[in-house]
A and B are shown apart, each in its own frame.
Chain A
Amino acid sequence: MKELLLLGIQDARSGIEIPQKEDVYGHLKRLQFIRSVVETYIIL
């Protein structure tokens, strides 16, 4: 599952933009899940 990641990462401006394209593996869903858990348990 690891070798078919289609998420790209770009330095689109002075900041960062990560274009996220969902695929059949649910890579974006996983990242969103991880982010939601992190946001729940950590306050920036």
Chain B
Amino acid sequence: MGCGTGIMTSLPLATYGYTVHGIDLDNASIDLAQELAHKLKLPNARFICADVSTLDQKEKFDIAICSEVLGHLANPELLLMTIKSLIKEFGILIVTVPNGYGWFEMEQFCWDLLHMDRFYSFGNRLFGFIKAKLGCIFGTSNMAPGPMIPIIPASLSQTPHIQRFTIGRLQRLFSDCGLDIVDIRSSSLFAGKFTHLLFGHFKWFVSWNKWMADLIPASLASGWYFVLRNTD
């Protein structure tokens, strides 16, 4: 649900052999997803531009994935209830959500406040140049600047986060929807455009950042992954 161009989850899962149905409201994203599925020869990846609540789906799904979507919705409970009606009894719903008060949101707030989008191309080149020079000085070869502009965007629609979730709020939300939490994992400690610009080129930092997320309290992580079970 909210699959965008499919590049984040749907297409990779299809390459692993699973039958995937991607649904999104954005027509342009779905068009690109369909084009990618065709180019990649993935007939098991199907994409539909539709509102999930209007979906006429007779067969229920084993697993539904709602990744980085809830933060963009005015009524996340409505979507969760709709998804719940589309999965089998004891079916699984995977939800990933950014921490509404975590590092990522803080960086994004600062980024927007400073109107950094105007400068990010220049900034990326500048930071890349500095890191490449440092790489020459310290003899590390993998410090060349990488792309900040995505190869393929995850979505072609631009919708800001309008929800700020905490772990507690999500737990209440899932409970209200009759979804039992089976597992919770944290994504990373630091995340955001500044972190990407400053440290994204350092493999050791990326690995450390990911590793740290599993050690710190969940409330400090930049985002969370939930596995939920439909028990109704």
Chain B: interface size category: 35 or more
* Whole-angstrom distance between the Cβ of A11 and the nearest chain B Cβ: 6
Considering residues A25, A30, A31, A35, which has the most beta carbons from chain B within 10 angstroms of its beta carbon? A25
Q: Is B115 an interface residue (CB 8 A)?
A: no
Q: How many positions in chain A have a CB within 8 Å of any CB in the partner chain? A: 30
Is B199 in contact with A24, judged by CB distance below 8 angstroms?
yes
| A10, B151: Cα distance in complex, Å | 11
* Whole-angstrom distance between the Cβ of A20 and the nearest chain B Cβ: 8
Chain B residue at minimal CB-CB distance from A25: B191
Q: Is B193 an interface residue (CB 8 A)?
A: yes
Instruction: Specify which of B15, B185, B206 is in contact with A24 (CB 8 Å cutoff).
Output: B206
| A18, B196: Cα distance in complex, Å | 22
Please give, as numbers and ranges, the residues of chain B lying within 8 Å of A26 by CB-CB distance.
187-188, 191, 209-210, 213, 222-223
Is A6 in contact with B147, judged by CB distance below 8 angstroms?
yes
Considering residues A20, A26, A35, A37, which has the most beta carbons from chain B within 10 angstroms of its beta carbon? A26
Please give, as numbers and ranges, the residues of chain A lying within 8 Å of B41 by CB-CB distance.
11, 16
Within 8 A of B (CB), among A25-44: 25-27, 29-31, 33-35, 37-38, 41-42, 44
Please give, as numbers and ranges, the residues of chain B lying within 8 Å of A18 by CB-CB distance.
11-12, 15
